[in-house]
Amino acid sequence: MSYTGPDSAPPRPRRPRRGLLIAALAALAPGALLGWLVHETAGGSGDPGGAVSAGGPASSGAAGPSRAPSRAGGAEDPGAAGTPAPPRASAASGPLEGKVVVVDPGHNPGNFQHTAEINRTVDIGTNRKECDTTGTATDAGYPEAEFTLDVARRLRTLLQRQGATVRLTQDGDRPYGPCVDERARIGNEARADAVVSIHADGSAAGNRGFHVILPGAVHAGAADTRPIVAPSRDLGERIAGRFLRATGSAPAAYAGDGSGLVTRKDLGGLNLSTVPKVFIECGNMRDGADAALLTSGAWRQKAAQGISEGIVSFLRG
């Protein structure tokens, strides 16, 4: 999990990495994939029922000049100013009619221009942490904040087709943030049936794969996650299994026990939530093979599809 400081240099031009996509998929460990599929089946993830096809927009998701996030540790992550946001539409009738989903695109493409604002601290229950961070980026300069916004918009479209009411915590419509406490509050006030925060990691090169972050049991200050620990785990397990199946990416071996699930108690976005919520780190932007996937519009559509199917499975029980 890595972030940008205010002194970052402008991003280098993006370099096509299509050749790495095939190599990345070929390099997935069969054992890890099989093990997770067994885990997913045993975990009781029901049929998503009515899941939409994996088709959809496959644009690069980059609009306007790239921002320049680079690595600067210590702040909270668990980060795609993509194509212009589509006109707001009411949810269609479908199996998720009456359900509310909040999608939280990590970071904000404008955060790097508002370092004073995002560096102020907010209460996360257990302690105080930065309001927000700038996120990480690929070595070629593709920002996490653009990636997350692009996937969030694709996910919104898929869920709306299922009849869900979908709200984004930010849609490229504010100069920075929101702060992590406000991100949690948006889900709480919406009385969301599920909240998913979308991110991409900034770990060392060679570290590959995705992982889903679950809330640990926290009861301190303004935080009390005890009622949401179990449903959040159910949500996270379903998303992890469907994400693996839709994208072909393996669970990260460098985070947690290799199951693709990590429990944390230091993230304000989870600590302050009163509704089921998880984070997903879709891949490692600092690894060349993962970066080739994350910068592919077609792969981002698969990522949105996997997350959507996990949410649908959770909400339908």
DSSP string, 62-109: --SS--------SS-------SPPPPP-PPPSSTTTT-EEEEEE-S-T
281 is catalytic: yes
Q: Determine the 3-state secondary structure of 173 from DSSP.
A: coil
Token look-up 């909240």 returns 195
Of the candidates 167, 120, 172, 158, which has an alpha carbon nearest to the alpha carbon of residue 312? Answer: 158
- pLDDT digit of tens for each residue in the chain (317 aa)? 443 333 333 334 444 444 433 343 344 443 444 344 434 433 443 333 333 333 333 333 333 333 334 333 334 444 333 444 444 444 568 999 999 999 999 999 999 999 999 999 999 999 999 999 999 999 999 999 999 999 999 999 999 999 999 999 999 999 999 999 999 999 999 999 999 999 999 999 999 999 999 999 999 999 999 999 999 999 999 999 999 999 999 999 999 899 999 999 999 999 999 999 999 999 999 999 999 999 999 999 999 999 999 999 999 98
pLDDT value, residue 22: 37
pLDDT value, residue 66: 36
Strands 223-224 and 165-168: unpaired
d(CA 24, CA 20): 6
pLDDT value, residue 93: 82
pLDDT value, residue 273: 98
Q: Which CATH number fits domain 20-49+78-84+99-316: 3.40.50.1110, 3.40.640.10, 3.40.50.2000, 3.40.630.40?
A: 3.40.630.40
Q: Determine the 3-state secondary structure of 257 from DSSP.
A: coil
Q: Say which residues have a Cβ less than 8 Å from residue 194's Cβ, sequence separation at least 6.
A: 99, 101, 102, 235, 275, 276, 277, 311, 314, 315
Hey, what are 239's tokens?
């998303």
Token look-up 């508002």 returns 114
pTM: 0.76
Task: Find the catalytic residue in 40, 76, 130, 281.
Answer: 281
Q: Give, in order, the Cα–Cα distances in Å from 112 to each of 76, 117, 180, 224.
A: 15, 10, 16, 31
What amino acid occupies position 238? R
Hey, what are 143's tokens?
């920002």
Q: Which helix (H) or strand (E) holds 199?
A: strand 194-201
pLDDT value, residue 254: 96
Q: Residue 299: exposed, middle, or buried by beta-carbon count in 10 A (0-12, 13-18, 19+)?
A: buried
User: Which DSSP symbol is given to 304?
Assistant: H
